[in-house]
Amino acid sequence: MAGEAMDRRDDWLERTLRSGAADQGAQYLADDGFAARVLARLPPPAALPAWRRPAVILLWLVAAAAAVAALPDLAYDLFRRLVAAVVVVPLTLSRIMIALAVLAALAWSAIVYAMREE
């Protein structure tokens, strides 16, 4: 139902774009291939260097290790609490479902991030 309403609203936009394109095509000026030659000479788009992503990951790991080394008591206390939360707290169906939902959201986010086009 909502998709049909969206299609009807998009129809006027589609019609407007098509009529604008038709008007633009009628006003085309012949340039003897000048635009094609200019576009062919443009440099390729700048791409991020391949080493950037591993370097950022390494920097985050170094920062985490430095934080653990600088605050060993805090790191140990956090680790103890995490282990206690996992081991001591009884597993129920609702907690398992919440954990699975969080893991699914993280996996989905990672997949979307990995599949995006830069």
In the predicted model, is pLDDT for residue 3 greater than 60?
no
- If we measure between CA atoms, which residue out of 45, 67, 48, 47 comes closest to residue 56? 48
- pTM, rounded to two decimals: 0.35
**Using CA atoms, how far apart are residues 45 and 117, in angstroms rounded to an integer?**
13
Tokens 């576009």 appear where?
A: 39
In the predicted model, is pLDDT for residue 117 greater than 70?
no
**Using CA atoms, how far apart are residues 105 and 49, in angstroms rounded to an integer?**
29
Q: Could you tell me the CA-to-CA distances from 43 to 31, 38, 47, 48, 49 in Å, in that order?
A: 21, 10, 11, 15, 16
HSE (CB half, 13 Å, CA atoms) of 43? 3
| Per-residue pLDDT tens digits for 21-71 | 766 666 667 788 888 899 899 998 888 788 888 888 899 999 989 988 888
